[in-house]
Amino acid sequence: MMKIRIEITLCLLLFLVLAPFCICSGERLLVGMTLVRKATAHGAVCLDGSLPAYHLHRGFGAGSNNWILQFEGGGWCNDISSCLERAKTRRGSTRYMSKLEVFSGILSNNASLNPDFYNWNRVKLRYCDGASFSGDSKFDNGTSLLYFRGQRIWEAIIHDLLPKGLSRARKALLSGCSAGGLATFLHCDNFTKMLPSNASVKCLSDAGFFLDERDISLNYSMRSFYHDLVALQGIEQNLNPNCTRSTSNPKLCFFPQYALNYISTPYFILNSAYDVFQFHHSLVPPSADLHGHWNRCKLDPAACSAYQISVLQGLRRDMLVALYPSYKNSRRDGMFINSCFAHCQSESQDTWFAVDSPRIHNKTIAEAVGDWYFSRKITKEIDCPYPCDKTCHNLIPSPQVSLR
């Protein structure tokens, strides 16, 4: 009996070692982390010098040669002090990251929860460079050392995935949320060039369409923030050259509204017209509201005054104006611009595809993205202004959430 128990235990241990690293906990799919071991040789490291990482859950059946790559989001750091702080957290080092990640929404492997992409190879790229996977520089003053190597991290992860089947991709979707959504604008065409010429490659930005917008004090606070970020992390050399050649201020090409015009790969933009991150940090940053007149409005849209609502309607208008060329002129592109107070809607099952998910014209986000990707329908959904949409999940972050 003891011998049988030992053999069973050994078999279980071998299975756990050799099986793909994922755990199904109830309805949650937890996927293990893969470190990119060869990255150090190419200088592709996180802010603190740790190895970059991703989480891969294998596709199956008809989706075994199809791939989704999802950039993780999480703000940016645009000066040495904030980057040093970030390097001590999961946003700047894989040493502090969770080794298991929940795959839900667009990353779910359940056909009833993710009908178009459930059986694809799904990858989450962990974010540890603080510049939307785009910098290539280093800071070393003899005391402190920071690696700004987002561009190299992106390339190292791709080169790690190519021999694992990405090089044989038939269909591929590059997506991301927030700062990860912005990363898709920076890497979309590059991703297409790395895959087979006959592959169907498209890109999706979720809550990544950050506007070059004046704040309520009429300052370009986000432009100033990005200007410092691009300069600090050596990003300008990695921006779209067609965009940078077209303007006297090349750093503006970090903004999606300027980069989008020069992207040739089909693109889908998923965004709230009242994106809470942009509302809180671009339109009404703390520096523009020193006396906290907007505090109640930020926490609850129903508490906003008529004047504050009019300012928010201006944010929506500016977003639609920035998107108008794509809306009018491109049949290959798609969009889903709803009127919810939210930020990132593709990774959460509640907002991606559920009985009570947000809808425009009775279409969920998952249905809109699927219709666009598979060319079932032209999908350019724009919601009516707040507060008309009763399907919204208004997801207001805590006041502690910061730009960095």
331-350: b (≥16 Cβ within 10 Å) or e: eebbbbbbbbbbbbbbbbbe
Instruction: Give me 123's structure tokens.
Output: 């990858």
* Residue 387 preceded by cis peptide, ω within 30: yes
User: What is the amino acid identity at position 221?
Assistant: S
Q: Are 156 and 112 in contact (CB under 8 A)?
A: no
Given the residues 206, 275, 289, 333, select the one marked as catalytic: 275
* Strands, E assignment, 161-215: 171-177, 200-206
Catalytic site residue from 93, 318, 343, 346: 343
Q: Catalytic residue at 275?
A: yes
User: What CA–CA distance (Å, rounded) separates 346 from 206?
Assistant: 7
Q: State the Cα–Cα distance between residues 184 and 196, nearest whole angstrom.
A: 19
Asked whether the beta carbons of 266 and 333 are under 8 A apart, the reply is: yes
- How far is Cα of residue 59 from the mean position of the Cα atoms in its chain? 21
For 19, residues 6+ apart whose C-beta sits below 8 A from its C-beta are none
Half-sphere exposure of 9 (CA within 13 A, CB side): 6
- Provide the β-strand partners of residue 148: 137
First to last CA, the chain: 58
Which helix (H) or strand (E) segment holds residue 317: the answer is helix 306-329
The answer to whether 337 and 323 have CB atoms below 8 angstroms apart is: yes
Q: Is 289 a catalytic residue?
A: no
Return d(Cα 401, Cα 404) in angstroms, integer.
Answer: 8
Angle at alpha carbon of residue 52, lines to 99 and 121, rounded to 5°: 70
3-state SS class at 337: strand
Which tokens is 135 given? 């910098």
Cα Rg, the chain, nearest whole Å = 21
Whether 25 is catalytic is no
Please identify which of the residues 178, 205, 282, 348 carries the catalytic annotation: 178
What residues are annotated to the active site? Answer: 178, 275, 343
